[in-house]
Amino acid sequence: MAEETIFSKIIRQEIPTPLLYQDELVSAFRDISPQAKCHILIIPNKLIPTVNDVEESDELALGRMFTVARKLAEEEGIDENGYRLIMNCNKHGGQEVYHIHMHLLGGESLGKMLSV
Ligand code: 5GP
């Protein structure tokens, strides 16, 4: 059984982080340490620690993450200029919170994809 992270507490609103979106499958809220003018995290409500743990039965939630990203990008007014979606996996991917999440970043030009 994977260990819960702070994201599960945010989903259940035990930590009062304003939710930009929530349904039965996914939740979205602003990143606490934004790396761009707009930085939103979109996460499955189910605890999936890393992308390595994704199963076929998760496909509905994972697909929902993309439609929510599209809706939030529109609401934030960043859809026309564009944005970046990132999912980090494990140490080399720079993952810090072991509950998978999609970063939605935009509101300004983000430059090249990687700066290593
Ligand atoms: P990772 O590096 O795992 O892909 O990204 C984790 C993200 O979660 C980081 O961008 C970090 O700022 C964000 N984060 C960590 N703890 C919290 C929190 O308690 N609240 C919010 N809103 N974001 C968090």
CA distance 108 to 31: 16
User: What pLDDT score was predicted for residue 1?
Assistant: 75
> What is the pLDDT confidence band of residue 2, given thresholds at 50, 70 and 90?
confident
Q: Over range 70-95, report the average pLDDT.
A: 98
Residue nearest to atom 13 of ligand 1 (CA): 31
Strands 19-22, 102-106: parallel, antiparallel or unpaired by DSSP?
Answer: unpaired
Q: Is the CB of 88 under 6 A from ligand 1?
A: yes
Catalytic annotation on 103? no
Q: b/e map of 53-65 (b: 16 or more CB within 10 Å)?
A: ebeeebeebbebb
User: What pLDDT score was predicted for residue 113?
Assistant: 82
Order the strands of the 26-30 sheet from edge to edge: 19-22, 26-30, 38-44, 102-106, 83-86
User: What pLDDT score was predicted for residue 115?
Assistant: 63
Q: Ligand 1 pocket test: which of 17, 22, 52, 96 has the largest number of ligand atoms within 8 Å of its C-beta?
A: 96
Question: Ligand 1 center to residue 20 CA distance, Å?
Answer: 15
Rounded mean pLDDT of the chain? Answer: 96
> What is the pLDDT confidence band of residue 98, given thresholds at 50, 70 and 90?
very high
CA distance 65 to 69: 6
